[in-house]
Structure 1
Amino acid sequence: MELGMIGMGRMGGPMSQRLLRGGHRVIGYARHLDALRQLEEKGVIPASSLEDLIARLKAPRAVWLMIPAGGAVDETIAALRPLLQSDDVIIDGGNSNYKDTQRRAQMLKASRIHYVDAGTSGGVWGLENGYSIMVGGEEEVVTRLRPIFETLAPAPDKGWGRVGPSGAGHFTKMVHNGIEYGMMQAYGEGFALMRHKTEFNLDLHQVAEIWRDGSVVQSWLLDLAASALAENPHLDGIAPYVADSGEGRWTVAEAIDLNVAAPVITLALLQRLQSRDSESFSNKLLSALRNQFGGHEMKKK
């Protein structure tokens, strides 16, 4: 099958390679030509512009976007819309907000252009292991694109599926990432607890390796934790600063809107925010208040 890809960076590049291995024809476009040139050596056909990309694709076309969520997606769609024809498909494989996806699908419907959201998980390991793909969109269109999803997934019948109409794929991926926040936070807290039990002098990498087989907490995240601890047992040189992509925030907001209690995901998000405040005013005020009402000693810098 033939596919146009826009955005050939950290995720787009490996995905295009997996598609090529599966016998698909991939035509790529990226603003940064260096990334595209590297992929050209692996078989991606480079396009010099969006116009060139669309001209090289046979109708009905399928164009996969792998670009950051937000305005960049809207700008790209606005540029593509006049170039595409009825029954062409735009696939958004990024982490877009599902409400934006629903809006875009409705807008493109007027031009009879299909919009499919493919929530994609797998990171840098997806090239070898396959990607988990949660697809939203019209059933007939998703069926047409089935060979692409079967190639990207771990197996043709595993790790992917149409989960509902437009927006459902990105909504499911949002919740997936929210769960990921909670799982990562639990691992972090558990290993920190063991590290502080100095009386036992625990080898955290050894513990992680033991847990990887047969335990109820085994997971791919635990595999990655074991790998990280093997490379750097004390995590030297790593700042305790944790970024977020935004999907945890959207998950918490959705939980509030739907009156669904999600305390673990919410607290995991708040912990990430706290990690960025090296000069925490709130903690300083807590210390000052304890001194004010109880005469407790305040630790000075």
Structure 2
Amino acid sequence: MKLGMVGLGRMGGNMTERLLNDGHEVVAFDPDSTAVASLADKGASSATSPADVVSQLEAPRTVWVMVPAGDITESTVNELVELLDEGDTLIDGGNSNYKESQRRAEHAALSGVDFLDSGTSGGVWGLANGYCLTVGGNRSAYDRNRPIFKTLAPDDSDGNLYVGPSGSGHYVKMIHNGIEYGMMQAYAEGFELLAAKEDFNLDLGAIAENWTRGSVIRSWLLDLTVDELEKDPRLDELSSYVEDSGEGRWTVDASVELAVPAPVITAALQMRFRSRQGDPLGGKMLAAMRNGFGGHAVKKASD
């Protein structure tokens, strides 16, 4: 099956390579010409623009967009909707807000273009291990493009799932990432508690590796933690500054909109905000209040 790939960042490039390895023909474009050239060396057809991608495909066309969420997704999708014809399929595999995906599907439908939103999980390991996909949109468009989804999925399972109407694929991925926030925070707190018991001098790497074998809390996240602790047993080379991709925020927004409590995910998101504050005002306020009502000693900034 021949398709176009627009966006050859780390994940988009790896997805393209996995498709090529399985015999798919791919027309690839990215503003970074070196990324295009690298995939051309592996068998992809080069394109110089989204329009060039579309011109090299035969109807019914399929174009997969793999760009960061935000303005770049909006402009890329709008451009491709204008270029594609009725019966073509446009897939957004990035981490777009599901509400934006619903709107884009409605816009694409005005031109007879099927818009599929694909939640995509797998990160840098996807090339070797495959990607977990959750796809929303027109079911017939999903079925028509299932060879693509099957190739991108892990070899030992389908690893892809049609979940429902437009927006549902990205909604499911949003919740997936919210759960990920909570799991990561729980591991982080647990290992910090292990390290804090200094008189035991616990080997964090050995404990993490032990927990990957038969423990109820074993997971791929824990496997990755083992790898990181092998390289840096106390993570001394890292800062505790942690970014968030936006999907944790959207998950918390959804919990408020739906009146469904999500305290663990919410707290995990708030901890990421706190990680970026070197000397937060909130902490100073707590110290000031304790001093004010109880005369408790405070630590001055100059101490």
TM-score of the two chains, using structure 1 as the length reference:
0.98
> Deviation at 1:289?
1.1
**Residues 65 and 93, structure 1, Cα contact 8 Å, conserved in 2:** yes
Residue identity in the other structure for 2:298:
M
> Which shifted more, 33-42 or 133-142?
33-42
3-state SS of paired residue (1:271): helix
- Spell out the pairing of 1:216-295 with structure 2 (5 A cutoff): 216-295=216-295
Q: String of CA shifts for 1:98-133, please: whole Å, max 9, x gaps.
A: 000000101111110000011000000000000000
Aligned residues: 301
> Deviation at 1:164?
0.5
**Residues 8 and 29, structure 1, Cα contact 8 Å, conserved in 2:** yes
Cα distance in 1, alignment partners of residues 263 and 241 from structure 2: 21
In structure 1, the gaps of 5 or more residues are: none
RMSD value, Cα:
0.9
Cα distance in 2, alignment partners of residues 228 and 288 from structure 1: 39
> Deviation at 1:157?
4.2
Q: Is residue 2:199 matched to residue 1:199?
A: yes
Cα distance in 1, alignment partners of residues 203 and 172 from structure 2: 37
Cα distance in 2, alignment partners of residues 237 and 292 from structure 1: 39
Q: String of CA shifts for 1:269-296, please: whole Å, max 9, x gaps.
A: 0000010111201111111111111111
Q: String of CA shifts for 1:205-242, please: whole Å, max 9, x gaps.
A: 00001000100000000000010000100111211101
**Residues 129 and 155, structure 2, Cα contact 8 Å, conserved in 1:** no
Residue identity in the other structure for 1:10:
R
- Spell out the pairing of 1:45-60 with structure 2 (5 A cutoff): 45-60=45-60
Aligned counterpart, 1:124: 124
Aligned counterpart, 1:141: 141
Aligned counterpart, 1:93: 93
Cα distance in 1, alignment partners of residues 19 and 72 from structure 2: 24
Cα distance in 1, alignment partners of residues 132 and 28 from structure 2: 22
Identity of aligned residues (%): 53
Cα distance in 2, alignment partners of residues 156 and 298 from structure 1: 59
Cα distance in 2, alignment partners of residues 157 and 300 from structure 1: 58
Aligned counterpart, 2:38: 38
**Residues 66 and 94, structure 2, Cα contact 8 Å, conserved in 1:** yes
Cα distance in 2, alignment partners of residues 208 and 77 from structure 1: 43
Cα distance in 1, alignment partners of residues 7 and 171 from structure 2: 22
Cα distance in 1, alignment partners of residues 39 and 155 from structure 2: 24
**Residues 92 and 116, structure 2, Cα contact 8 Å, conserved in 1:** yes
Cα distance in 2, alignment partners of residues 139 and 155 from structure 1: 23
Cα distance in 1, alignment partners of residues 167 and 204 from structure 2: 41
Cα distance in 2, alignment partners of residues 175 and 186 from structure 1: 17
**Residues 150 and 156, structure 1, Cα contact 8 Å, conserved in 2:** no
Aligned counterpart, 1:17: 17
Aligned counterpart, 2:6: 6
Q: Is residue 2:140 matched to residue 1:155?
A: no
Cα distance in 2, alignment partners of residues 94 and 82 from structure 1: 20
3-state SS of paired residue (1:85): coil
**Residues 92 and 118, structure 2, Cα contact 8 Å, conserved in 1:** yes
Cα distance in 1, alignment partners of residues 21 and 279 from structure 2: 49
Cα distance in 1, alignment partners of residues 161 and 155 from structure 2: 11
TM-score of the two chains, using structure 2 as the length reference:
0.98
